Structure 1
Amino acid sequence: MTFELTGRRALVTGAGQGIGAAIAVALADAGADVAVHYAHSADGAAEVVGRVEQAGRKAVALGADLTVTAEADRMVGEAVSFLGGLDIVVCNAGHLVGRVAVADMSDEHFDEVLAVNLGTAFRTIRAAIPALRQAGANGRVVTMSSLAAHNGGGAGSAVYSAAKAGIRGLTKGLAKELAATGTTVNALAPGFIGDTAFHNTFTPADVQQNIVAGTPLKRAGTVDEVGAAVVWLCSDGAGYITGSTIDIDGGAWFR
């Protein structure tokens, strides 16, 4: 049994920085060629491409607004064309957008949070299904849920939490739909991953410290640990796991 991904072809959305960048590099280190999607972080995506190429793998940066169907379809098509097919799709794109209580939330904010977190995964996977079916038993989809899907998240993130819970449901349903071709579909649910734009933007330092203090392992997770988990889920070693959500949160959520 192997955890290598030599010759596999991967697409990672939201890979211009943070967790997505670490996932792209981890996949390359395991042997995969990688299409690096970005929405706004063009410079970061270019840097990630360089790191993938340093690992001896092929890479391309692809910009797209994945809340728009035509953009998602184009981006996936370009990834398939560049890579010569597609075995792995990692739907990492997402964003809190802003901390807003439901009582104060506009319809526009609600729609944006769902579109950015749930809609992007839906559109990306839908466009990639023909290529994944061709990949057969090598087919892997990894979606990105969150600890917030379990516990409702912090202040002002109820709708974000709902979107991430929706990712779990989408993952389970897709696992059933794609099982016949051998493609597996699983989700990761990260807890507090330190030194990311997400928390540096939306979570004050004192709150971050309190989160770490309340985590059984008493530390933040790292982007590299998330990347390693994705490599495992995409490997032959995880070939009999599908429809599952893997918590990567230092013990913050025991079920």
Structure 2
Amino acid sequence: MSFPEQQQQPPGETEAMEPRPDHGEESYRGSGKLTGKIALITGADSGIGKAVAIAYAREGADVAISYLSEDEDAEDTAKWVREAGRKALLLRGDVSDPAHCREIVRRTVEELGGIDVLVSNAAFQMNHESLEEIPDDEWDHTIATNLSAFFHLAKASVPHMKPGASIIGSSSVNSDMPSPTLLPYAATKAAIANMTASLAQLLGEKGIRANSVAPGPIWTPLIPSTMPEEKVSQFGSDTPLGRAGQPAELAPVYVLLAGDDGSYISGARVAVTGGRPIL
């Protein structure tokens, strides 16, 4: 499967993508697996975060939707959450700022009544063909957005979490099969997997589980906004399944890790890669 050549300015918008990603808007059916839970999801305006927000709402959770600046996409996510009969809290701002991470946890607890599930999913990447062309400030920004935010969010969330709560980090197949042209991004994704394994051990005595999900190539706005057109057109075609995944295909794993069905799953890294191995 190939995509039309296309590019956007980062962070990218869903409506400008061809074809439009599938977030499960018409397909996901809930069955009460997260009834009464409160979830904070970063990067929930589009891509995997949007699909997870829709699924969580249809499973019975209220959802805090953290996003950078993509107001139209975020409002659309909120619409689907509310149509599922759940509360949606929109939280605009940059998670690379530690103070903002603490603020969105505070608002989630204050306005929705607590926090049972934290999904640290927001990410930045940029494609570079050589080490020399990676700007120093881009390295720092990638670390701050992808990795440090996870630390600040988890640290702020844990005091409000009760036994049975769940922390989920979005890692990547790049965590142990790093693309050389995504060096800063790949390094953060390996660190997220490692940090999640540490959290599982630190927080087990509190009854809080921590896991990471390692997606392969998934069709989100991050792709046309950070990759050259020729790479976009062939995105995902080199997987054993021969195609990129859709955000909706990730949602069931995030539901499993958030709910009681995953009550003994902690310290895991779940691969959703279209056949690319994670060992």
Amino acid paired to 1:111: D
Partner of 1:238: 262
Shift of 1:107: 2.3
Q: Structure 1: state its 5+ residue gaps.
A: none
Higher relative contact order (CA 8 A, sep 6+): 2
**CA-CA distance at 1:181 after TM superposition:** 1.3
1:2-151 matched pairs, under 5 angstroms: 4-99=33-128, 101-132=130-161, 135-137=162-164, 139-151=165-177
Residue 223 of structure 1 and its aligned partner are, at CA, apart by 0.3
Q: State the one-letter code of the partner of 2:119.
A: V
Tell me by how many angstroms 1:213 deviates.
3.3
Q: TM-score, normalised by structure 1?
A: 0.92
Question: How many residues align structurally?
Answer: 249
Assess if the C-alpha contact under 8 Å between 2:127 and 2:227 holds in 1.
no
Q: CA deviation at 1:3?
A: 6.9
1:177 aligns with 2:202: yes
Identity %: 33
**Corresponding position: 1:202 with 2:226:** yes
Normalising by structure 2, we get a TM-score of: 0.84
1:189 to 214, 217, 231: 214
Calculate the aligned-residue CA RMSD, in Å.
Answer: 1.7
1:218 maps to 2:242: yes
- Summarize the Cα distance change of 1:109–1:89 in structure 2 as closer, same or farther, 3 Å threshold: same
Task: Please tell me whether the aligned partners of residues 99 and 202 of structure 1 are also in contact (alpha carbons under 8 angstroms).
Answer: no
Give 2:196's aligned amino acid. Answer: T
CA distance in 2, matches of 1:77, 1:156: 37
Question: Which digits, 9 at most, give the CA deviation of each residue in 1:154-194, with x for residues without a partner?
Answer: x4211211111010111011111111111110001100112
Partner of 2:14: none
Q: Which stretches in structure 2 are left out of the alignment for 5+ residues?
A: 1-30
